[in-house]
């Protein structure tokens, strides 16, 4: 690898590709595969996002990928959806706070690593989301999670929201574990005296149609958890994905799916025999922006 002044991100990634080994080699392969998958009109991209990636600064990057038509299906956690909405309602994610966790609690702050949230922002979130839930409940009593998120996306006004752009662009968002989040908690509060059922099973009819209609699928898996499993498992009925990239810090030895090698997915027919599988071990907030910058540059050439 040679590193000079004023390299573009892709220049750097290409140097990593010349070395071609260890982490540098994997970043290069992942970036190329991501760009190839975007460029290939026959390939649908399933992006799974676990971990605090909206609080961690990836909101705009994900927004732009959807806006540019580079993502076909988004699968994420209730937490990322909640944090997208917190920002849409005027709240934020803060940093540079120095206090221990008991003090934070006294001052109405919650901590996610070195990201901080304010309870006031969640109060605004509660107020705003309960209005939205009322409007949704007026329209439907049983709603799939995907539709539910689509309805929310349509009802908010923030032009930077992942939910909103996904609704506008017709990119479905799946969140199989949505109930286990602040949004899930609000839903519970709401349903203590009103009726609104989330139909998790309902999503699967639609998602299976998407899978069957896709000529090829590349799964881009940021972190593990339900989003990773759901992204891969939804491709099971069609023999698995054609390609996959995962970025994770989880280990494989415990047997957990979150850290499992992508090869393991082949045994379950969640990845096809011969599929192109690249794992990058690293922090998503570092690796994914790099991959996106590199892939965008490849595409723009």
Q: For residues 51-110, which are near its own copies according to CB under 8 A?
A: 51-52, 55-58, 60-61, 64, 79, 93, 95-96, 100-102, 104-105, 109-110
Minimum distance of its own copies from residue 150's CB (angstroms): 18
Number of residues located near its own copies, criterion CB under 8 A: 111
Single residue of 139, 170, 188, 194 touching its own copies by CB under 8 A: 188
Q: Extract long-range pairs of 275-278: CB within 8 Å, 24+ residues apart.
A: 275/240, 275/241, 275/242, 275/243, 275/244, 276/33, 276/242, 276/243, 276/244, 277/243, 277/244, 277/245, 278/26, 278/29, 278/30, 278/33, 278/244, 278/245, 278/246
DSSP assigned state of 40? -
Q: Does 50 sit near its own copies (CB under 8 A)?
A: yes
Q: Does 286 sit near its own copies (CB under 8 A)?
A: yes
Residues 212-251 touching its own copies, rule: CB under 8 A, are 223-226, 229-230, 233, 236, 249-251
Minimum distance of its own copies from residue 244's CB (angstroms): 13
Q: Identify the bridge partners of residue 281 per DSSP, sorted by sequence position.
A: 248
If the CB atoms of residues 128 and 296 are measured against its own copies, the closer one turns out to be 296
Q: Does 193 sit near its own copies (CB under 8 A)?
A: no
Minimum distance of its own copies from residue 300's CB (angstroms): 4
Q: Extract long-range pairs of 259-264: CB within 8 Å, 24+ residues apart.
A: 259/224, 260/224
Q: Does 284 sit near its own copies (CB under 8 A)?
A: yes
Catalytic annotation on 270? yes
Minimum distance of its own copies from residue 55's CB (angstroms): 7
Residues 259-278 touching its own copies, rule: CB under 8 A, are 259-260, 263-269, 273-274
Residues 24-43 touching its own copies, rule: CB under 8 A, are 24-25, 27
- How many CA atoms, within 13 angstroms, populate the side-chain half-sphere of residue 119? 7
- CA 158 from centre of chain: 19
Residues 137-156 touching its own copies, rule: CB under 8 A, are 142
Residue 295 to residue 191: CA distance in whole angstroms: 44
Q: How far is CA 183 from CA 81, 100, 137, 187, in A?
A: 8, 26, 15, 6
34-42, 123-131, 165-173, 176-184 -> range binding its own copies (CB under 8 A): 176-184
Phi-psi region of 113 (alpha: psi -120 to 50; beta: other; left: phi over 0): left
31-39, 126-134, 161-169, 187-195 -> range binding its own copies (CB under 8 A): 187-195
Q: Dihedral sign, CA of 253, 177, 102, 223?
A: positive
Tell me the catalytic residues. 270
């Amino acid at each position: 690898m040679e590193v000079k002044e004023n390299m573009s991100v892709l220049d750097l990634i290409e140097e990593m590709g010349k070395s071609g080994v260890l982490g540098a080699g994997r970043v290069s392969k992942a970036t190329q595969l991501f760009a190839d998958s975007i460029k290939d009109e026959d390939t649908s991209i399933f992006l799974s996002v676990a971990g605090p990636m909206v609080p961690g600064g990836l909101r705009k990057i994900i927004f732009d990928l959807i806006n540019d038509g580079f993502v076909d299906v988004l699968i994420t956690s209730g937490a990322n959806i909640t944090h997208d909405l917190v920002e849409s309602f005027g709240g934020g994610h803060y940093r540079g706070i120095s206090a221990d966790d008991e003090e934070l609690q006294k001052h109405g702050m919650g901590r996610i690593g070195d990201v901080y949230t304010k309870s006031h922002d969640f109060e605004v979130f509660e107020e705003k989301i309960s209005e939205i839930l009322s409007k949704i409940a007026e329209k439907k009593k049983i709603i799939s999670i995907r539709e539910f998120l689509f309805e929310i996306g349509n009802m908010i006004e923030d032009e930077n929201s992942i939910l909103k752009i996904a609704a506008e662009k017709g990119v479905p968002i799946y969140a199989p574990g949505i109930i286990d989040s602040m949004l899930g908690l609000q839903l519970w509060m709401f349903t203590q005296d009103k009726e609104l059922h989330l139909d998790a099973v309902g999503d699967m009819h639609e998602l299976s149609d998407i899978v069957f209609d896709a000529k090829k699928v590349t799964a881009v898996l940021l972190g593990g958890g339900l989003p990773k499993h759901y992204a891969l498992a939804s491709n099971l009925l069609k023999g698995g994905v054609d390609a996959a990239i995962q970025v994770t810090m989880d280990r494989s030895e415990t047997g957990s799916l979150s850290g499992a090698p992508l090869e393991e997915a082949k045994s379950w027919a969640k990845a096809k025999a011969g599929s192109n599988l690249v794992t990058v071990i690293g922090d998503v907030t570092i690796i994914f922006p790099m991959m996106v910058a590199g892939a965008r540059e490849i595409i723009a050439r």
